[in-house]
Amino acid sequence: SSELTQDPAVSVALGQTVRITCQGDSLRSYYASWYQQKPGQAPVLVVYGKNNRPSGIPDRFSGSSSGNTASLTITGAQAEDEADYYCNSRDSSGNHRVFGTGTKVTVL
Amino acid sequence: EVQLLESGGGLVQPGGSLRLSCAASGITFSSYAMSWVRQAPGKGLEWVSAISGSGGNTFYADSVKGRFTISRDNSKNTLYLHMNSLRAEDTAVYYCAKVQTAAAGTGELDYWGQGTLVTVSS
């Protein structure tokens, strides 16, 4: 299967830690990347590879993986982290990409 | 500064055609694969297509294969998406995105345009 499944929504208290998960068979072979999307804006890459962050992304964002599950952790969530988060990976062919179903993160 | 500017969206009737363009600046365009991603209103992201830096390799989602064609003109730093036989379910904001590598399937999408809206309706 090339599907990536995420929980639809999670909430986190300001300053606390939240983990968002992404499940799919392709994650046994390929790393996931994670994108943040705020309303009305284009997605932004926040984590990719084993645990890499593009320039300008705060170090409170981190990634990990185990078996068929990839995770994005926000340690010390800030109000500006409230957004939709999508995982992404290659599919079984290795040439196509597939996005997860998306998780809406609310910071309380 | 990397900039990607999409254009060409609009209202089109079912069965019609449209060509999207994405003008890139701030990068050595031919060194990077490029991709199109779409987002239907209120829905999640869907990968649509990708093309290698040279243009020699192209890939498509099953939902658009045979109807959409991705291409690029490296002399003009421009990416294209030719869309034929459009359906209501193709209605979405279409984003172009730069891939981190020259190979289309391997790298992440590290820069995105602001998107162009395509509406398929009679």
Mark yes or no for CB contact B45/A33 under 8 Å.
Answer: no
CB–CB contacts below 8 A, A to B: 57
For B116, residues 6+ apart whose C-beta sits below 8 A from its C-beta are B6, B7, B8, B9, B20, B93, B94
Q: Which residues from chain A sit within 8 angstroms of residue B95, using beta carbons?
A: 42-43
Task: Please give the C-alpha separations between residue A26 and each of A53, A61, A65, A86, B100, in angstroms, as whole numbers.
Answer: 21, 22, 12, 15, 20
pLDDT, tens digit (0-9, with 9 covering 90-100), for B50-63: 999 999 999 999 99
Count of other CB atoms within 10 angstroms of residue A22: 29
Residue A37 confidence (pLDDT) above 90: yes
Dihedral of alpha carbons B66, B121, B46, B22, sign: positive
φ, ψ of residue A27 to 5 degrees: the values are: -75, -10
- Of A75-89, B79-93, B100-114, the poorest mean pLDDT is in B100-114
C-alpha distance from B105 to closest chain A C-alpha (Å): 4
Q: Which residues between 34 and 93 in chain A have a beta carbon less than 8 angstroms from any beta carbon of chain B? A: 35, 37, 41-45, 48-49, 54, 84, 86, 88, 90
Q: Which residues from chain A sit within 8 angstroms of residue B63, using beta carbons?
A: none
pLDDT, tens digit (0-9, with 9 covering 90-100), for A91-103: 888 889 999 999 9
pLDDT, tens digit (0-9, with 9 covering 90-100), for B28-56: 999 999 999 999 999 999 999 999 999 99
